[in-house]
Amino acid sequence: MLISLFITCYNDTLFPGTGKSVVRVLERLGHTVEFREQQTCCGQMHYNTGYHPEAVTIMKKFVADFWDAEVVVIPSSSCVAMIRDHYPKMAKEAGLEKEVEALVPKVFEFTEFLTDKLGITDVGATYPHSVTMHTSCHALRSLHCEDRPQRLLKAVRGLDYLELPASDQCCGFGGTFAIKNAEVSTAMLSEKMKAVLSTGAEVCTGSDNSCLMHIGGGLTRQRGTARCVHIAEILASEEGDQ
Amino acid sequence: MSIRVGESAQAATFPKAAKKLLQNTQLRRNVRRATDTIRGKRAKVVDEMPDWQALRTAAQQIKKRTLRNLDSYLVQFEKACAEAGGKVHWARDADEANAIVVGIIQSHNQKEVIKVKTMTSDETRLNHALEAAGISPYETDLADLIIQLGNDKPSHIVVPALHKNKSEIRQIFMEQMGLKELGHAPEDLAGAARNFLRERFLRVKVGFSGANFAVAETGSVCVVESEGNGRMCVTLPDVLITMFGVEKIVPTFDDLEVFLQLLPRSATGERMNPYNSIWTGVTPGDGPKEFHVILLDNGRTKVLADEESRETLHCIRCAACLNACPVYRQTGGHAYGSIYSGPIGAILTPQLQGMQHSTTLPYASSLCGACYEVCPVKINIPEILIHLRRKIVESGGAALTERMGMAVAGYTLADSGRLGTAQKLVQLGRQPLDAIGLPGWSAARDLPEIPKQTFREWWKSSRGGK
Amino acid sequence: MSTAREEILQRVRTAIGTQAPEEPVQREYRQAGTLSEEAKIDLFIDRLHDYNAEVYRCAAGEEAVTIAEALTARGKKRILIPPGFPAALLPTGPDFVRDTALDYRDIDATEGALTCATAAIAMTGSLILTHSATEGRRALTLIPDYHLCVVYTNQLFETVPEGLRALGGRRTSPVTTIAGPSATADIEMTRVKGVHGPRVLDVIVVAAG
Ligand code: SF4
């Protein structure tokens, strides 16, 4: 399958390792990955903060960049949620209904692409660490990921999976929320960190680097014992990597 | 016009109020404990309902139908209620509503009124108006009594005194009821309220209530409660005044079968609340001899006019969204500066009161979606929050730095070349990130190391731009 | 100047505007029960026990003895009854006071009330009163601290929709649904029994003859 990778703007800039891991997993599974270099962003930050016209401009660009892709894989639940939940309505205003309607079903979040589209849970990874998982709100409530990421993790050799308590609680990131309401966000973050540390896991993973950056940023500040790693990086790991 | 939502027009901004409340560890512990309890109970009784989603869908459709034909349902209700012996009044705003209530009580030469928990009367600040007219309002709901005696503000729409624990409540009761002794068990506190109010229930000649539902078809009014104080207020006095927002109408009596299943399970995690009172006008030989209804607008028609957010009016005030909200969990209800707190407050207060008074409320959410998931009438609160943010931005209500940041980001993200240039700047230093206001972030979190190479650079170098 | 009524209705009409045609209300929730008669009664009793109500079961014709048993168990001697409560159901022994036009304070001074019901709902453990002559006016089952209610199995429905629809023409009489004794969850969200309404509720379930 020819898979078009939408890396997302912040993964591109801040977490290139996640993108490399996605490429590694998909190629290992025998697929071809393309990267359309004109791509930028899904428009989520603008949309969620109330900057609608800007978001529409970015959506138009996304549609122009990917309309003819076979499938688009995105290592970020929140960007997929943006596209699935909001593009159809925005498209009406932009007169792009047909294009968006055709494109949306071809867009997948990375882990759901593996389990649902490719029907795979064992991606041939080895990761000899104890791991807990933060399910981001978008993965949980918009993508309805259920236990798909956990199934992938449990198939990884050497990985010791530890359940996160109160896993349906938001970590407090919420994009500009973490800045506009920094104190409340910090209070939410402390609860999340407490939960992560209570598992004793070495690694906290997830399908959204935004949440992981938030939790991880708190953990390093506190010199916590756990670090945050995107699920793609775990699934890419092979014997000898660690 | 004096649209008023309690004292929300004078309230501090959300981040400011929240910051202060976050220091109150006792309050936060109380809120966390109470919301954890109620969430657990709700989940249990919702999970046992195989048709929960079907009920939610039906409720949403009934509410949509109601709003779509609200004018005719209001007229239908008015007619049916009048035929059953009720008198219907209409109030455009808070002052008009309060004046009607005061007028009715004065026409009977009464100086006291017993009240069952009514959000709309908190909205209009009725107690304030009554006191100004020399009339004593007695709150009879246990939590409202705690608030009234403790001279406090409600922090939750179902359990207004949720921020108080039992020893704090005991303290208030002992001081305000003049009790020398009082047990520590919740039963003892409930018993104290029973003794304190019993004489008033038997004495006071005017009762005041809100309504959870009003049936257009029959002119019936429904009050959902637990303690029996509601039954006391709507049954024992000679004169009963019931006030509710125009959106509380449901078309048919059978529609109650949907809401009376959704509400108790969502609100208190019970299969059914102890009491529902449904009455239609006046019944000779049973209950009040005179029954007044006040249909309140107070900004509701403004909400109705906005197609994108009118479903805010579907709300049945169950507070499930508050209990589920991770933001509310941290701050409690006072941070919202309104009698309507939590996610529903964040969308309702600005729309009723006017956006200019509460521009920070629509941002008091991480958009996690927990509210939408539990809402029994399926109000898409995150969508409405975003819609209101858009309205704030469009009316120039956002900070200049934010607008500039967003404009720059929008310009940058419209072109991959520009994005590449910006990424270079980010790599050179953290300036661009800090410039849009990251200090709040950095107080408690580290920013990640900025990688030397972006993904697109890696792709280009390793794949030759293939 | 237009009246508030006209102005509000006009605002509503303007706000609604012209809209797409009305969507039908899909009532795909459960509108009828599926349990057997015995399972339905068991469920009802189970729910009542959840509320700490004492439940008695008897056959038609045994009401009087069962009422006597319930009142003795609670030590009640002087009980209010609605004007139309069937005399045939009353045991000898306790003192029954028929409510004609008693003052609220007189009602407050009694030990409890004994009534029939219009319907009951098994799933929620609810009794529904429409305050007919056998159920009494609302104050009767509100002011006293004890309520003993006699309900027949042919009045019992499994689901909420069935129970409410069974009211038929009596739905515009005053309706009170009662699920357990009065309670509050206002103190730390825990259900505490007994606030202003009757603090004790007992139910006699009579097998309909
Ligand atoms: S918005 Fe929904 S969940 Fe929140 S109080 Fe209203 S009905 Fe309940």
pLDDT in tens, A206-222: 999 999 999 999 998 88
Q: Count of CB contacts below 8 A, B vs C?
A: 250
Domains of chain C, residue spans = 36-207
**Over pLDDT 70: what percentage of chain C?**
99
Angle at C163 between CA C158 and CA C164, to 5 degrees: 150
The whole-number pLDDT of residue C112 equals 97
Q: Which residue carries 């048993």 as its tokens?
A: C69
Write out pLDDT tens, residues C65-116: 999 999 999 999 999 999 999 999 999 999 999 998 899 999 999 999 999 9
The string over B57-66, giving b where at least 16 C-beta atoms fall within 10 Å of a residue's C-beta and e elsewhere, is bbbbbbbbbb
Residue pair B296/B247 in contact by the 8 Å Cβ criterion: no
Do B51 and C30 make contact, defined as CB atoms within 8 angstroms? yes
Which atom in ligand 1 lies closest to the alpha carbon of residue B317?
5
User: Hey, which of B35, B261, B266, B338 would you mutate to test ligand 1's pocket, going by the most ligand atoms within 8 Å of its Cβ?
Assistant: B266
Do A61 and B386 make contact, defined as CB atoms within 8 angstroms? no
Which is higher by pLDDT, C58 or A176? C58
Mean pLDDT of chain A: 95
Token digits of residue A156: 């990884």
The superfamily in CATH containing domain C36-207 is NagB/RpiA/CoA transferase-like (3.40.50.10420)
Average pLDDT of span C6-29: 89
Instruction: Classify domain A130-236 by CATH number.
Output: 3.40.50
Average pLDDT of span C52-60: 95
Looking at residue A233, its amino acid is E
3+ Cβ–Cβ pairs closer than 8 Å linking A and B: yes
Q: What is the model's pTM?
A: 0.95
B199 CB near a chain C CB, below 8 Å?
no
CB atoms within 10 A of CB B453: 14
| pLDDT tens for each residue of chain B, 466 residues long | 678 888 888 888 999 999 999 999 999 999 999 999 999 999 999 999 999 999 999 999 999 999 999 999 999 999 999 999 999 999 999 999 999 999 999 999 999 999 999 999 999 999 999 999 999 999 999 999 999 999 999 999 999 998 898 999 999 999 999 999 999 999 999 999 999 999 999 999 999 999 999 999 999 999 999 999 999 999 999 999 999 999 999 999 999 999 999 999 999 999 999 999 999 999 999 999 999 999 999 999 999 999 999 999 999 999 999 999 999 999 999 999 999 999 999 999 999 988 777 889 999 999 999 999 999 999 999 999 999 999 999 988 888 888 888 888 888 888 888 888 888 887 776 554 544 446 677 778 888 888 989 999 999 999 875 5
The whole-number pLDDT of residue B351 equals 95
The whole-number pLDDT of residue B103 equals 98
Residues of chain A with CATH 3.40.50: 130-236
The whole-number pLDDT of residue B435 equals 47
- ipTM exceeding cut-off 0.90 for this assembly: yes
Write out pLDDT tens, residues B242-254: 999 999 999 999 9
The whole-number pLDDT of residue B434 equals 47
Domains of chain B, residue spans = 14-301, 411-462
CA distances from A229 to A186, A215, B424, B458 (A): 20, 10, 24, 20
Do A178 and B441 make contact, defined as CB atoms within 8 angstroms? yes
The whole-number pLDDT of residue B424 equals 81
Residue A32, φ and ψ in degrees, nearest 5: -100, 135
Residue B218, φ and ψ in degrees, nearest 5: -110, -10
User: Which of these CATH numbers, 3.40.50.300, 3.40.50.720, 3.40.50.10420, 3.40.50.850, describes B14-301?
Assistant: 3.40.50.10420
Q: Count H helices, E strands: chain B?
A: 23, 10
Nearest to B280 among C13, C172, C188 (CB): C172
